[in-house]
Structures are given as structure tokens and as C-alpha cells.
Amino acid sequence: MTNLENKIPIKGYNSWDPLKHVWIGSGFKSEWIQHLVKNQKIYDPLCRIADETEEDYQKLDSILKQAGVQTHRTWLDIDKYNTAEHMGRHKPPMTPRDLFATIGDKFHVGGGPDTYEGYLSMLNHIDRKNIQMDPHAPFAVSTATLVRVGKDLWWDLRNDQRDTDEKRAFIQKMTTLWESKGFRVHHTYRGYHSDASFCIVKPGAIISLHDVQDYKENFPGWEVCHLPDQSWSLISPFLDIKDKVNGKWWVQGEEKNNDLTHFINTWLNEWVGYVEETVFDVNMLSIDENHVIVSNYNKTVFDFLKKHKVEPIICNWRHRYFWDGCIHCITQDFYREGEMEDYFE
């Protein structure tokens, strides 16, 4: 938990230097919905999601603490859960990775308070001099889409993030800012979360679901472990519900629970993401160059990690297909040892 007397240090130039301070997200508590959901077919699975999600958060918290990492968490105010409509508008602070970015010695916060509802209290524990805040930013800078590789920053942008003069000016503003601090900024336009598609485990080792970019050109000499056999046919029950949920979420065992499907589609549409993008999750968190936290076992991945002298630590994230966010998404680096290095000089 956060030490309220001390400010959280901020520093990060990549995703594999020794991690010392990390933010872990939080879900919702089952007791919050007792007065909101009377239908047992809806209430029971939602309670299971709440309880098992928190159990998995605590497991992750324990793994990190055992590795010497200081963890920090926040909770969404229960008062937000007055009605199902309010509940739907206030997603728990599950995925701090999706809204913030530690780049160098700055913690980037973009957009107004509604952008980071439920996350705001954590900012009180960071020294203001380390916060790069732009309340008028048209969208948030996040390390879900911005990959830090020492001196190089790979920033992926969706079409709707560059479709107005205001947004293009913001992109140029941030690019100029980072370049003034010695970074090389590369823009890509794949249009989805980079951390759901590839993971740089350490210098020279990348795990990728598919060929999302020209690795030979952008990461010359680095070995890439491709996982071309990852198909939704591996978890065929999802296919039974895919059309009803528009490919956005899945709760195992509840594929024929139409009451639950209707409730989530109607009231919790802002909670869920778009899980149809990936099966095996490359959304992993490196503790350092020799230890990485993963959500499940995959022989190809584990053999690759062993070759590169990286020990995988399994932390099951059971409701990844509901929340559409895995180990990397549900955390946010605050502080990693190390300084800016040029890995391609």
C-alpha cells in the first residue's frame, strides 16, 4: 500500500530494468452491488468476478512484494455505485496502464478528471515536479500504446487520435517535448494496444502474437518469438457468445446466461474492452531482465524465455476475458532503476 508520508519516486526508460515501485489496479467489491442487483443469475456471477479478481490482485501484489517491489493501490469510491447506470459510468480503476505513462522522470497525466475517475487520489502521492499534467489534452498518453526502449519511444496512434488539428498539434507538442529530453520518437499507426500484441522482455528478446511491425528494421538483430497458432478456436466456448457480446467480453461458464449478457451489455458496456484481439496474453510485466510475470503457461513462450535466461512467474488472471486487461494493463510502472540507454547505436 502507498506510504502516505513519502512521495512515490518516478523514473522509467524501459520495461525491463529492476522495478521498485508499481501501481496495481483495483476492481469492485461484491458487497457494493447487493442493493443494485436482485436477479440471482446476474448477482452470483458478478460476485464471482469481483471476489476472484481481488484474489488475483492480491496474488500479484504478493509476488511483487516478495521480489522487493513496493506496491501501491487505490479503490473507487463506493458512493459512485448508487444505481446500475452510475455503476456503468464509473469503471473501477482496473487498468492504470491504459491512462498514464512514466517516461523518464515524468508521470504523464492527460485529459480532464473524467479521464481518470477513480485513479485521481494516487496522484496526491507523487511530487508535483514529477507530474506532466495536461488537463486539456485530447487523449491520454499511456504505456499501453507507447513502448519505451531506452532512448527510443515507439508511440502508436489510432486514426481518431489524429483526425483534428487539435489532436495533431498535441502529438507534435509531446513529440517535441520528448525530443528535447534526448528521446527519439517513432510514430506507428496500428491502432490498438501495443502491449496486447508484443512484449519486449529484455534487450534482444521480443514475444509477438503476429508480425505487428517490421522487427528486422526496427529491432535489428533482436530475436522475435512469434505465436502464429493463437486462435480463438482454442477457447471455443467464447465463440458461442461472441456475436451476442460483439466480441468484447466473456465470463467462462456463463455463455447461455442471457440475463447476465443483457445486464453487462446494457449497464457495464464501459467496463469491458475488446478481448477478441488476443488469446495467449503477451501482456506481461517484467520485474527485471531475468524475471517476468505471465498469466498462463505456453510451451513456446517458456522455451524462448529459458533460452534468454528469463524465469516466468505465473499469476493467473482468471477474468482477463471480462476486463480485457492482463498483467501489464493492470499495473503501471512508477519507478525502475537504470538510466536512458541507446540500444541501437
What secondary structure does DSSP assign to 283-309, as a single string? --EEEETTEEEESS--HHHHHHHHHTT
pLDDT in tens, 232-282: 444 455 455 555 555 555 566 676 777 777 766 665 666 555 444 444 478
The answer to whether 18 and 287 are in contact (CB under 8 A) is: yes
Selected residue with higher pLDDT from 31 and 254: 31
For the chain, which residues make up each domain, given as ranges?
Answer: 19-336
Task: Give the pLDDT confidence score for residue 195 in this predicted structure.
Answer: 77
**For 19-336, CATH number?**
3.75.10.10
What does the pLDDT read at residue 275? 44
The model's pTM is: 0.85
pLDDT of 213 reads 66
- Write out the E strands in the chain: 19-24, 70-73, 100-103, 106-110, 131-134, 146-149, 152-156, 184-188, 198-202, 205-208, 223-226, 285-288, 291-294, 311-314, 331-336
Yes or no: say if 56 and 315 are a contact pair by the CB < 8 Å rule. Answer: yes
The cell 493467473 sits on which residue? 316
**What's the confidence (pLDDT) of residue 228?**
64
Q: Over the chain, what is the mean pLDDT?
A: 83
The Cα–Cα gap between 239 and 247 comes to 9
Higher pLDDT pick, 64 / 281: 64
Helix (H, G, I), strand (E, B) or coil at 21: strand
Contact 27, 50 (CB under 8 A): yes
At residue 319 the predicted structure's pLDDT band, cuts being 50, 70 and 90, is: confident
The phi and psi torsions of 160 (rounded to 5 degrees) equal -75, -5
pLDDT in tens, 289-315: 999 999 888 888 999 999 999 999 999
Q: How many Cβ atoms are within 10 Å of 40's Cβ, its own excluded? A: 10
Give residue 33's pLDDT.
78
Q: Bigger pLDDT: 134 or 247?
A: 134
Contact criterion met (CB below 8 Å) for 103 and 130: no
Question: DSSP secondary-structure letter at 270?
Answer: T
For residues 164-181, average pLDDT: 97
The tens digit of pLDDT for each residue in 187-217 reads 998 877 787 788 999 999 999 876 566 788 8
- 3-class SS at 338? coil
